[in-house]
Amino acid sequence: MQELFDQIELRGVRSLTDSELLTLVVGEQALAEHLLHEYGSLARLVAEERSRLRMVGGLGLKRARQLHLAAELGRRVAEQQPQTAQVVSSSEDVVALMRPQLDQLPHEECWALYLTSSNRLIERQRISQGGVQGTIVDHRLVVKRALELLATKLILVHNHPSGMAEPSGQDRQITQRLKEAAALFDIRLLDHLIIAREGDFSFKRAGLL
């Protein structure tokens, strides 16, 4: 353990591997390696329900809580990063921006990203929140906010807590309705992205927009 702290002093915390970082959080190297072997990644590990996580490898309730608190701290830091000069030029940019916000949620949330003509991010706004199976999106409110912000482009983003990123029939319907409503005001729907633990889906990348 002391060797890892010395490494941080010399090369910074970013030099730690996932296993080394997890070792410092849970206090045991063997346990950290066991957890990573069981879940495959830190993201899947912290997405596990605390009641089940505490049973894995003898982790216990206290350390399971510490893991979830550390994950929530990281998510909030990422969410609060300055956005004023951010330019969104690809679906990968959107996933990098929104995954920390959506990845670990047990319910669906849908967000709208409002952009200028040069793809500069003006605002990102949660437009709906639902249950495990879905959420309701009012395309009129999305377009109304775009007009208020003088945005000329839109990107829709939501998560699938089930873990699969494949769009549902409702997802396709919402996308088409928003595309048509936005076009009436010369606002372009650039993409609709679905973020899940197993990956992500882009309507634009799939040729659906």
Query: Which pLDDT belongs to residue 156?
Result: 96
Structure confidence by residue, pLDDT tens digits, 34-85: 999 988 888 888 888 888 889 998 899 999 999 989 888 887 776 666 554 5
The domain spans of the chain are 2-79, 91-202
Residue % of the chain over a pLDDT of 90: 45
Classify each residue of 148-185 as buried b or exposed e, where b means 16 or more C-beta atoms within 10 Å of its C-beta: eeebbbbbbbbbbbeeebebeeebeebbbbbbebbeee
CA atoms within 13 Å, Cβ hemisphere of 175: 22
Structure confidence by residue, pLDDT tens digits, 2-21: 888 888 888 888 788 989 99
- Write the class of the CATH domain 2-79: mainly alpha
The matching CATH number, chosen from 3.20.20.80, 2.30.110.10, 3.40.630.30, 3.40.140.10, for 91-202 is: 3.40.140.10
Closest CA to 123 of 160, 93, 159, 82: 82
Distance (Å, whole) CA 160 – CA 58: 30
What six digits make up the tokens of 145? Answer: 């906010």
- Average pLDDT score, the chain: 87
Distance (Å, whole) CA 44 – CA 38: 10
Enter the pTM of the model: 0.62
Instruction: Give the distance, in angstroms, between the CA of residue 199 and the centroid of all CA atoms in the same chain.
Output: 11
Q: Which residues contact 46 (CB under 8 A, 6 or more apart)?
A: 67, 68, 70, 71, 104
SS3 209: coil
Distance (Å, whole) CA 10 – CA 122: 39
* Phi/psi of residue 6, nearest 5 degrees: -65, -40
Q: Are 161 and 68 in contact (CB under 8 A)?
A: no
Q: In what order do the strands lie in the sheet with 199-202?
A: 121-129, 109-115, 153-159, 188-196, 199-202
Distances (CA, A) of 24 to 84, 114, 190: 35, 40, 42
Structure confidence by residue, pLDDT tens digits, 152-201: 999 999 999 888 899 999 999 999 999 999 999 999 999 999 999 888 99
